[in-house]
Structure 1
Amino acid sequence: MSGAAVIIGASGGIGAAFEAALIEEGAYDVVHGFARSRSGAQHLDLTDEASIAAAAAYVAKGPAPTLVIVATGILHDDAHGPEKALRELDPAWLARVHAINAIGPALVAKHFLPITPKTGRNVFAALSARVGSISDNKMGGWHGYRASKAALNMLVRTIAIEEKRRNDRAIVVALHPGTVDTALSKPFQGNVQPGRLFDTERAALQLLDVIEELKAPDTGKLFDFEGKEVPF
């Protein structure tokens, strides 16, 4: 592999693990890490399109990116948790969850895919979740998070179709990392089956292995950490 690798959300648990693993592997000419908490050229806020455009312009000055990973997501904050019932729906919170989980990654694709090579294998991957699968939803609840990840999955599918017209070897996918030991999952880890709570390093390495095995026909799909396709 060559060119540049880009990690969006590099200050988060799994994003930082992606960045560290890719730097250690040394397979790319340069590894760019962006995050809202970083300053200068490494600053990127998913709710601020200008910062996304600036980050893409910065990357475009060097080797073209052949791997872009959006390792971001929001499930809860200090004032909001995943909804258990319709009565808990809050329009402002729904808008924020969609802004970060769906709209932000789509805007990253908008600005970063045009600077990837027009030929050869490129991968754009966004972290999604199995609970965003409509066909797999048997329990309900978690309305905003489910809906935002379902929206992300649809955006991945439509972006993949368009990107294939530009480069028939481009791969645009959503990835389900499983339950990772991060702040996002912390309040809900009590229900995780033994052996199914992954530390961030393991989660990142598992997904990098999945990415390495992806082929052009896999574009537009959702895969879990074992490389198994999850139906939308």
Structure 2
Amino acid sequence: MMQSLRQGFTALVIVASGGIGGAVARALDGAPAAGQVLRLSRSVDGLDITDEARVAAAAERMSGELDGFDLIFDATGALEIADDRPEKSLRALDPAAMARQFAVNAIGPALLIKHFSPFLPRDRRAIFATLSARVGSIGDNRLGGWISYRAAKAALNQIVRTASIELARSRPQSLLVALHPGTVATNLTQTYGQGHDKMAPDAAAHRLLAALDGLPDDANGGFFAYDGSRIEW
């Protein structure tokens, strides 16, 4: 697992208290080549990705401690926020709910990229992966619905693509990618995962890490599924 990274690699998992994030952190802990696996979460560290001051403070606390992260895994994201539920029609569209979706699923990850991508090393391969969703693909959208969530994830994909171009100038060996985790057995899919085969979080984590391990050098800025296949924008 993660054989493409150096022996003794250092990883950071953001929102390691969630179903997928926790599973990714556990899988990395058990990787033979892993050195140190650090975790950030709202419950333990007070991280709020919608508050830039808190994101910056979390990054500052890590400044100078490490020789860069070889892997940063952002497992943030939400489908239901507060009492907001995914829209089934245009009539259900609410601007405040839409703004909350963008705050959590697009702006928050953008702030994480802004403040944590400087921890990627300049002289070796490293990966910053953020969880997106296949429903954020414009080309793959054939069902409609879920406008706010889809739009926020599509915005995240554009953020990843745009930021990756800048990242390549200073860290040419680093990869910034968006990942679709598939349907994973978490609290979210208890309500919205009917009709889909669900992966256990630990199995999903291993598949996601294997997909990252197999990324080619030209994967920077790409959108990938848990099996390593590319997803259209």
After TM superposition, is the score higher than 0.5? yes
Runs of 4+ with >6 A deviation: none
CA distance in 2, matches of 1:43, 1:20: 21
Structure 1 unaligned segments of length 5 or more: list them.
Answer: none
What percent identity do the matched residue pairs reach? 45
Corresponding residue of 1:130: 134
TM norm structure 1? 0.93
Q: Is the 8 A contact 1:171 1:215 kept in 2?
A: no
CA distance in 2, matches of 1:216, 1:111: 24
Taking the TM superposition and a 5 Å limit, the aligned residue runs for 1:101-180 are: 101-180=105-184
Which amino acid in structure 2 is aligned with residue 62 of structure 1? E
Q: Is the 8 A contact 2:120 2:171 kept in 1?
A: no
CA distance in 2, matches of 1:147, 1:231: 15
Q: Is the 8 A contact 1:83 1:144 kept in 2?
A: yes
Corresponding residue of 2:10: 4
- Give 1:189 shift: 2.0
CA distance in 1, matches of 2:29, 2:83: 36
Corresponding residue of 1:20: 26
Corresponding residue of 1:49: 52
Q: Is the 8 A contact 1:3 1:28 kept in 2?
A: yes
State the Cα RMSD in Å.
1.3
More moved, 143-152 vs 19-28: 19-28
Change (3 A) 1:69 1:120: same
- Give 1:185 shift: 1.9
CA distance in 2, matches of 1:50, 1:21: 30
Corresponding residue of 2:95: 91
CA distance in 2, matches of 1:152, 1:185: 21
- Give 1:77 shift: 4.0
Q: Is the 8 A contact 1:168 1:216 kept in 2?
A: no
CA distance in 2, matches of 1:198, 1:70: 19
Structure 2 unaligned segments of length 5 or more: list them.
Answer: 1-5
CA distance in 1, matches of 2:59, 2:206: 25
CA distance in 2, matches of 1:144, 1:61: 38
